[in-house]
């Protein structure tokens, strides 16, 4: 029998304590970021110079872009552990294409984007069609891609004019058009910063303003309800992982142009930072779900912290400790102190 | 039937094994169990009946320690105890076998290990020898009069059939020599022959003095097995009867008596052209194939209790489950939707049974919820047109009287009735050819029920075919122009509204194949 009276909700009047928690949840990270900027600006005069502020954004661009990729995977209720490996693969494959393959930068960019999309497609196939849980599938991809990269470059870092095994000098080099991705400017702004902010805007627009973004969020928040509403859940989940792969490879492009050689270890540390900024992004502004601007702000917060710490002469390992604390606090606000449920289910999805 | 009737002549120690006094359970603001009192005696099989949401699982949860937050008293063996956890209930002598048999089996362990699991977990065994596990397993099976070969005992428990797995879980539950055994829908996954085997075992246990409480929706098997029936409705104990059972009284107790709020259909809408034809649809394992034709211009109500195959039918039509051997046609054209998306494209929409799990995205606004099925229509070159989306949501809010501050209110902040108005409204406003509403009135107040029913009839009046599935007689009488009664996956009654009185429709629900007493 249906009950005749619907359950009556008592009017919710939040207590003062919980309202303070809500305010902190909403503005806490913005406030902390602003306070840190002010603190470093006062104590470290170099900090507030325009060169440093741009340099900070430039430094954080690869992490932010990879974080946007993770945000996309989290939007469909998943997580991608292979973004660091993907970016590292991009660094080596770009170097290989230009130095060993003697190609121009444009070709290298094409190869990198294609390989990024391919890695994303493999993840999508493993998760959506082979039904391997996302964390495990992307963990396997991560190891395989790192290994494949080292096989291709023979375990070495590829640099311009390096000596090859047969004693000859490598034919190619990092071309200027490729290095533009680090050193170039669009108008007054450095290219990596333009890419980072531009991709943030694009991802925000897609997720927030288009019907595809709406469908992606629907898949992440309740896949069964999304399917019954006529959303092709598998298509959207696959698209999210492919998009994540492409974003990770763009992060690798920026990284490769910055390093200027095919460092075989590049990208190894990118994964944790990318996942961290995406998770911080969930809690920023109290939104409680993955979002592009939150991820960008999370990246900026980490950039401010890392730059400020190193200007203060603190040892590098303090940075990791600081990042860890930031992430921990963000997670507490996302999961523990919220009255509303945070809707990320990262790492819990097996294909429906 | 040869099952002995309970001896009403009480043995000397006829104190109830478990006495439930004034037990109530509340989930949030929802009182799901009210003042239930019940005594369960040794050597008696008691069947617990009730429709979905009547409070059966909640009551079982209180007795088995799973719902610790009950009010009132539960006495075991004469002494009042606080059954705060399943472990405590088990120590008090109450064993529960849950509906999902697979949950009771540890795959990867052998059959013997599974049978010996609780012994090994509690008996202080450090090392488990195979011989010891097999000795315990044999003795457990012996209690049920079963002898399984060594080969079976050493096989992976995952490979047992449903019926054997059921017996395994039962044998294990009896290891602790409980005084009360609770079985939650033990036959829902069994064939008739397998159920007979289980019943034979249960009768022996009953005759040995075990108290058994079992939940079932099948009148036939209750008739064959139970000594006593108790019926819950809306959290209250409505009926407590001994043999011989008056099934009409039992059904009335389950379904409730009609209230004066009833507004039965006075002038049924006539059937128009045939929209949907279903042929050879086997809705339940082992059920007869079903054939059905649904016409435009009227509301067809499908009435059936739990397990009658209603949801299976709804999901088949809406592309949620594969059609199998069933042949469907829509407006005369072959129709075989591979997915809900395909069904929607063909004009067939489904309002699913479980609103929370299948109907809404948590945290979404009303506007987004209404927009989800029609994203393409509400966007321009892929970009969502917020104004159109809000207009669509306002249309639903106005038409159904959704009580909400605005279209931007979160849908999960609304009451159940208002949520349901939103999910029904978002589909009916798309102008479907066939709308399938599965339990649209569940957990919905009377006002919302009216609005939704009126909207369904309005949609039918404008030429759509509307299918309403419910387990509630009065809900169906309220809304349907044609009434179909489904029992065990087959049609037992198909009649225009008004031609049949309520009592005869209720009688049709009793047309349970289990009633035919041919089974040995």
Please give, rounded to a whole number of angstroms, the shortest distance from the CA of A237 to a CA of chain B.
Answer: 16
Which residue is listed with tokens 């006002």? B447
Local structure of B155: helix, strand or coil: coil
- Is the distance from CB of B67 to CB of B58 less than 8 angstroms? yes
> Which residues from B are below 8 Å from A334, CB to CB?
none
* Cα four-point dihedral sign B87, B91, B97, B102: positive
- CB pair distance less than 8 Å for B363 and A2: no
Confidence band for A125, pLDDT divided at 50, 70 and 90:
very high
- Is A221 an interface residue toward B (CB < 8 Å)? yes
Torsion-angle region of B72 (φ positive above 0: left; ψ -120 to 50: alpha; else: beta): left
Q: For B23-33, how does the pLDDT look when each residue is reduced to its tens digit (9 = 90+)?
A: 998 876 667 88
Please give, rounded to a whole number of angstroms, the shortest distance from the CA of A345 to a CA of chain B.
Answer: 12
Q: For A189-241, how does the pLDDT look when each residue is reduced to its tens digit (9 = 90+)?
A: 899 999 999 999 999 999 999 999 999 999 999 999 999 999 999 999 999 99
Is residue A18 exposed (0-12), middle (13-18) or buried (19+ Cβ within 10 Å)? Answer: middle
User: Chain B 301-330, CB below 8 Å of chain A: which residues?
Assistant: 318, 320
Please give, rounded to a whole number of angstroms, the shortest distance from the CA of B443 to a CA of chain A.
Answer: 5
Q: For B259-280, how does the pLDDT look when each residue is reduced to its tens digit (9 = 90+)?
A: 544 556 767 888 889 999 999 9
Please say if the pLDDT value at position A16 is more than 70: no
- pLDDT at position B364, please? 94
- Is A222 an interface residue toward B (CB < 8 Å)? yes
> Which residues from A are below 8 Å from B415, CB to CB?
6-9
Local structure of A5: helix, strand or coil: coil
- Is B453 an interface residue toward A (CB < 8 Å)? no
- pLDDT at position B107, please? 85
Confidence band for B126, pLDDT divided at 50, 70 and 90:
low
- CB pair distance less than 8 Å for B382 and A211: yes
- Which of A10-14, A68-72, B355-359, B514-518 is least confident? B514-518
Instruction: Please tell me which of the candidates B234, B340, B358 has its beta carbon nearest to residue A1.
Output: B234
Please give, rounded to a whole number of angstroms, the shortest distance from the CA of A11 to a CA of chain B.
Answer: 11
Q: What are phi and psi of B474, to 5 degrees?
A: -70, -30
- Is B498 an interface residue toward A (CB < 8 Å)? no
Which residue is listed with tokens 């870092």? A157
- CB pair distance less than 8 Å for B362 and A222: yes
Q: Which two tokens stand for residue A201?
A: 């805007």
Torsion-angle region of A351 (φ positive above 0: left; ψ -120 to 50: alpha; else: beta): beta
Please give, rounded to a whole number of angstroms, the shortest distance from the CA of B265 to a CA of chain A.
Answer: 20
- Which of A113-122, B163-172, B295-304, B505-514 is least confident? B505-514
- Is A210 an interface residue toward B (CB < 8 Å)? yes
Strand blocks (E) in B263-369: 274-281, 290-295, 299-303, 327-330, 333-334, 348-351
Q: For B90-102, how does the pLDDT look when each residue is reduced to its tens digit (9 = 90+)?
A: 888 999 888 777 7
Confidence band for B296, pLDDT divided at 50, 70 and 90:
very high
Instruction: State the pTM of this model.
Output: 0.78
> What gap in Å lies between CA B371 and CA B367, rounded to an integer?
6
> Which residues from B are below 8 Å from A211, CB to CB?
375-376, 378-379, 382-384
Q: For B408-456, how does the pLDDT look when each residue is reduced to its tens digit (9 = 90+)?
A: 999 988 878 889 999 999 999 999 999 999 999 877 777 788 889 999 9
For residue B228, give the H/E element and its range: strand B228-233
Please say if the pLDDT value at position A54 is more than 80: yes
Higher pLDDT, A191 or B57: A191
Please say if the pLDDT value at position B10 is more than 50: no
Q: For B208-233, how does the pLDDT look when each residue is reduced to its tens digit (9 = 90+)?
A: 999 999 988 777 788 889 999 999 98
Best to test chain A binding among B239, B318, B363, B409 (most A CBs inside 10 Å): B363
- Is A6 an interface residue toward B (CB < 8 Å)? yes
Is residue A197 exposed (0-12), middle (13-18) or buried (19+ Cβ within 10 Å)? Answer: middle
Domains of chain B: 18-105+162-255 (3.40.50.300), 111-159 (no CATH), 274-363+427-515 (3.40.50.300)
Domains of chain A: 30-336 (1.10.3470)
Cα distances (angstroms) measured from residue B392 to each of B360, B407, B418, B448:
17, 9, 16, 19
Is residue B327 exposed (0-12), middle (13-18) or buried (19+ Cβ within 10 Å)? Answer: middle
- Is the distance from CB of A290 to CB of A208 less than 8 angstroms? no
Average per-residue pLDDT for chain A: 88
Q: How many CB pairs under 8 A join A and B?
A: 113
Nearest alpha-carbon partner for A229 in B366, B407, B339: B339
């Amino acid at each position: 029998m249906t009950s005749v009276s619907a359950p009556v909700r008592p009017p919710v009047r939040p207590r003062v304590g919980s309202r303070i928690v809500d305010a902190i949840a909403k503005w806490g990270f913005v406030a902390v970021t602003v306070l840190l900027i002010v603190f470093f600006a006062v104590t470290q005069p170099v900090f507030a110079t325009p060169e440093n502020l741009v340099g900070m954004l430039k430094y954080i661009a690869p992490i932010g872009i990879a974080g946007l990729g993770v945000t996309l995977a989290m939007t469909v209720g998943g997580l991608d552990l292979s973004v660091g490996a993907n970016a590292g693969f991009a660094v080596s494959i770009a170097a290989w294409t230009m130095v060993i393959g003697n190609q121009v930068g444009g070709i290298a960019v094409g190869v990198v984007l294609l390989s990024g999309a391919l890695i994303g497609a493999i993840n999508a196939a493993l998760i959506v069609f082979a039904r391997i849980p996302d964390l495990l599938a992307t963990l396997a991809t991560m190891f395989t891609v790192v290994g494949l990269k080292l096989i291709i470059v023979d375990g070495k870092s590829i640099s311009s004019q390096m000596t090859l095994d047969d004693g000859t000098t490598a034919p190619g080099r990092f071309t200027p058009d490729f290095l533009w991705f680090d050193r170039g400017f669009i108008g007054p702004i450095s290219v990596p910063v333009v890419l980072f902010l531009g991709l943030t805007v694009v991802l925000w627009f897609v997720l927030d303003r288009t019907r595809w973004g709406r469908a992606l969020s629907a898949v992440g928040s309740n896949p069964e309800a999304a399917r019954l509403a006529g959303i092709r859940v598998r298509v959207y989940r696959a698209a999210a992982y492919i998009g994540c792969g492409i974003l990770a490879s763009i992060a690798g492009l920026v990284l490769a142009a910055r390093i200027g050689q095919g460092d075989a270890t590049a990208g190894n540390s990118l994964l944790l930072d990318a996942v961290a900024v995406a998770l911080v992004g969930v809690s920023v502004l109290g939104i409680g779900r993955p979002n592009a601007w939150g991820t960008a702000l999370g990246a900026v917060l980490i950039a401010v912290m890392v730059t400020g710490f190193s200007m203060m002469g603190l040892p590098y390992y303090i940075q990791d400790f600081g990042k860890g604390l930031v992430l921990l606090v963000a997670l507490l606000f996302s999961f523990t102190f919220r009255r509303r449920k945070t809707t990320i289910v990262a790492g819990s999805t097996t294909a429906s | 039937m040869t099952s002995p009737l309970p001896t009403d002549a009480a043995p000397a120690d006829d104190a109830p094994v478990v006495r439930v006094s004034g037990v109530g359970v509340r989930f949030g603001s929802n009182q799901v169990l009210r003042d239930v009192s019940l005594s369960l005696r040794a050597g008696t099989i008691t069947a617990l009946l009730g429709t979905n949401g009547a409070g059966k699982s909640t009551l079982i949860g209180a007795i088995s320690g799973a719902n610790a937050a009950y009010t009132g008293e539960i006495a075991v063996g004469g002494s009042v105890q606080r059954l705060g956890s399943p472990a405590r209930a088990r120590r008090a002598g109450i064993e529960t076998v849950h509906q999902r048999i697979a949950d009771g089996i540890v795959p990867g362990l052998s059959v013997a290990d599974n049978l010996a699991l609780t012994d090994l977990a509690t008996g202080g065994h450090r090392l488990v020898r195979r011989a010891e596990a097999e000795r315990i397993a044999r003795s457990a099976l012996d209690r049920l009069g079963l002898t399984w070969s060594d080969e079976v005992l050493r096989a992976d428990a995952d490979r047992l059939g449903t019926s054997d797995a059921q017996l395994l879980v039962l044998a294990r539950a009896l290891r602790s020599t409980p005084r009360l055994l609770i079985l939650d829908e033990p036959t829902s996954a069994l064939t008739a022959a397998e159920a007979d085997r289980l019943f034979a075992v249960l009768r022996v246990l009953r005759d040995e003095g075990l108290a058994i409480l079992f939940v079932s929706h099948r009148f036939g098997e209750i008739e064959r097995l139970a000594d006593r029936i108790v019926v819950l409705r809306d959290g209250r104990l409505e009926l407590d009867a001994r043999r011989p059972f008056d099934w009409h009284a039992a059904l009335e107790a389950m379904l409730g008596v009609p209230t004066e709020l009833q507004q039965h259909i006075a002038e049924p809408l006539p059937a128009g052209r045939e929209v949907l034809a279903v042929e050879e649809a086997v809705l339940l394992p082992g059920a007869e194939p079903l054939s059905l034709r649904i016409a435009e211009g009227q509301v067809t109500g499908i009435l059936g209790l739990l397990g009658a195959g209603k949801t299976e039918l709804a999901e088949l039509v809406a592309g949620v489950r594969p059609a199998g051997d069933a042949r469907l046609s829509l407006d005369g054209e072959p129709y075989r939707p591979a997915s809900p998306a395909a069904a929607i494209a063909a004009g067939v929409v489904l309002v699913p049974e479980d609103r929370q799990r299948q109907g809404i995205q948590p945290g979404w606004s009303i506007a987004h919820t209404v927009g989800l099925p029609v994203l393409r229509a509400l966007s321009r070159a892929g970009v969502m047109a917020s104004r159109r989306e809000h207009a669509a949501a306002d249309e639903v809010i106005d038409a159904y009287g959704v009580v909400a501050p605005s279209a931007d209110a979160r849908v999960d902040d609304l009451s159940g009735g208002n949520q349901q108005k939103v999910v029904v409204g978002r589909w009916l406003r798309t102008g479907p050819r066939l709308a399938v509403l599965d339990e649209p009135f569940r957990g919905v107040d009377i006002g919302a029920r009216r609005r939704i029913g009126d909207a369904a009839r309005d949609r039918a009046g404008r030429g759509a075919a509307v299918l309403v599935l419910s387990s509630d007689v009065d809900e169906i009488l309220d809304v349907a122009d044609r009434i179909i009664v489904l029992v065990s996956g087959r049609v037992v009654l198909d009649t225009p509204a008004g031609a049949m009185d309520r009592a005869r429709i209720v009688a049709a629900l009793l047309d349970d194949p289990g009633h035919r007493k041919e089974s040995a």
